[in-house]
Amino acid sequence: MESDTQLLDRYAAGEESAFEELVRRHQKTIYDLAYRMLENHADAADMAQKTFVQAFLHHRSFKRESSFRTWLYQIGLNLCRNALRDRARLAHEDVEEVTLTAPHDTFAEVATAELKDRLGEAIRALPTRQREALVLRVYHNHAFAEIGTIMSCSEGTAKANYHHAVDKLRRVLVAGEGLP
Amino acid sequence: MTCSEIKEFTVPYLELDLEPARVQEITIHLDRCAQCRVEMEAVRQVLVRVKGVTVPDPGDQFWSEFPGKVRQELARAQIKGQSDVTPLRKPVSAHSWLRTSMWPMALAASVLLFIGAWSLKGLVGQGLVQAPTEQTVVQTPQGSQDLPHPTDADLEAYWDDDPDTVLVEMAARLDQRTVDRLFGDI
């Protein structure tokens, strides 16, 4: 199987089939990341699309110091951060409007509604960086070194963000359920 | 190991992200410390539950159409990017036309004024025109009514004697035409 960089080279040379192969290879990963950060399908689909558009639009500036996938993660997370910032600003400006257009609950698949709400709220309440570290670690199984690269921070900072996130979630669940 | 040290390693212990020697140390501690076991179990349950949160699959149709949508959006962005670099020529508004046409008109007016003043001075010097007296300034100058209007043949005849005056006359005619053309478009 061709590597991502080989496909990118082919795309740069004008081969359109390489474009489609690269998108198909990473579309689910980037959509999953966007969904876990933005919590609804419409925003996640839009953000995933924008991530690929930005990547291909600026593919010449990809320095290949990291993998193409890591680069996609970086672009995707940046776009999600901007979207969350815009959402927070809107919430600040007009609370009622945001309530009406609030995204669907991310955690519809969780068996217990009560637990779903509590866990969802707890994850939603995490600071963005902690949430990013949690998503990249728990759902995308990245090593902390790579999480640091994606989040543009050190491995230690990525680890600390993740541990803080888990600790906060533990406290919330312990307080709500009487966990051990 | 102390209980506070164990806390630091709880998550990596559960994720099997530690060296074997460290794992053994923690395991020994957990066997002896009930409080740390409780803490460890709480974190394990958090990780299990968080891990259990799934993202709904948008379906095969979404995935099959996705690359095409990206391609469309990319093409749109590329066109927009090109237009940002070389913007399309905008239609010229009346205001901007006036603004860009103003300087040649101002230049033409300045040249006319200069030529007029210069020619008047030359004619006065040659005695063809009387210098304005107090009376002529207040009243209609009689002398100007008596001045002949030179034809093209006259100008040709005067050329050898007084080319400067002929040039002034020609310039005055030319400038009048230019002014007519410029203002005729407005």
Is there a contact between A119 and B49 if contact means CB atoms under 8 Å apart? Answer: yes
Q: Do B50 and A19 touch (CB under 8 A)?
A: no
Please check whether residue B74 lies inside any domain of the structure: no
The one-letter code for the residue type at A54 is Q
Look-up: residue for tokens 């300087």? B103
CA–CA distance, A121 with A85 (Å, rounded to integer) = 18
The mean-pLDDT minimum among B2-6, B36-40, B97-101 falls in B97-101
Q: Per-residue pLDDT tens for A79-108?
A: 999 999 998 888 777 655 544 454 555 544
What's the pLDDT tens digit per position in B3-30? 988 988 898 899 888 899 999 999 999 9
Residue A8 contacts residue A68 (beta carbons within 8 Å): yes
Chain B residues touching residue A163 (CB < 8 angstroms): 11
Exposed/middle/buried for residue A48 (C-beta within 10 Å: 0-12, 13-18, 19+): buried
- Bigger pLDDT: A30 vs B122: A30
Contact criterion met (CB < 8 Å) for A119 and B50: yes
DSSP string for residues in A28-90: HHHHHHHHHHH-SHHHHHHHHHHHHHHHHHTGGG--SSS-HHHHHHHHHHHHHHHHHHHHHHH
Note whether B105 and B38 are same-domain residues: no
Q: Does residue B26 lie within any of the structural domains?
A: yes
| Ranges assigned E (strand) in B67-183 | none
Asked if pLDDT for residue A53 goes beyond 50, the answer is: yes
First to last CA, chain B: 93
CB contact under 8 A, A48 and B66: yes
B63 found inside a domain: no
> Considering only residues 83 to 142 of chain A, which have any Cβ-Cβ distance to chain B shorter than 8 Å?
106-110, 115, 119-120, 123, 134, 138-139
Mark whether B47 and B103 lie in a shared domain.
no
> Which residues in chain B are closer than 8 Å to A173, comparing Cβ atoms?
42, 45-46, 49
Domains, chain A: 1-104 (1.10.1740.10), 109-180 (1.10.10.10)
pLDDT beyond 80 at A115: no
In terms of domains, do B101 and B162 share one?
A: yes
The whole domain housing B135 covers 94-184
Is residue B17 domain-resident? yes
* Span B99-124, average pLDDT: 76
ipTM reported for the complex, 2 dp: 0.82
B179 and B102 in one domain?
yes
Quick check: is B80 in a domain? no
Residue B140 counted as domain residue? yes
Total of domains in chain B: 2
Q: In Å, how far is B25's CA from the nearest CA of chain A? A: 20
Considering only residues 4 to 23 of chain A, which have any Cβ-Cβ distance to chain B shorter than 8 Å? 19-20, 23
Same domain membership, residue B176 and residue B106: yes
Q: Please check whether residues B46 and B101 belong to one and the same domain.
A: no
The answer to whether the Cβ–Cβ distance between A20 and B78 falls below 8 Å is: no
For an interface test with A, the pick among B38, B66, B80, B84 (most A C-beta atoms closer than 10 Å) comes out as B66
* Interface contact B58-A48, CB threshold 8 A: no
Q: Does the pLDDT value for residue A50 go beyond 70?
A: yes
Statement to judge: residues B100 and B176 lie in one domain:
yes
Q: Closest to A138 (Cβ–Cβ): which among B51, B63, B70?
A: B51
- The chain-wide mean pLDDT, for chain A, equals 86
Nearest residue in A to B34, CA atom: A180
Whether B163 is covered by a domain: the verdict is yes
Between CA A124 and CA B20 the distance in angstroms is 35
Instruction: Give tens-digit pLDDT for B76-96.
Output: 998 887 654 433 334 444 555
To the nearest 10 degrees (0 to 180), the angle between helices A155-177 and B3-14 is 100
> pTM for the complete prediction?
0.64
Which tokens in the block code for residue A7?
């496909």
Q: Please give the angle made by the CA atoms of A98, A100 and A102, to the nearest 5 degrees.
A: 60
Contact present, A156 and B8 (Cβ < 8 Å): no
In chain A, what residues touch B69 (CB-CB under 8 Å)? 49
User: Chain B residues with CB inside 8 Å of A36's CB?
Assistant: 55
The minimal CB distance from B53 to the residues A19, A110, A162 is found for A110
- For A117-173, how does the pLDDT look when each residue is reduced to its tens digit (9 = 90+)? 788 889 999 999 999 999 999 999 999 999 999 999 999 999 999 999 999 999 888
d(CA B81, CA B164): 59
Domain identity same for B112 and B163: yes
Facing residue for B71 by CB, picked from A19, A35, A108: A19
Residue B60 domain flag: no
Same domain, B98 and B178: yes
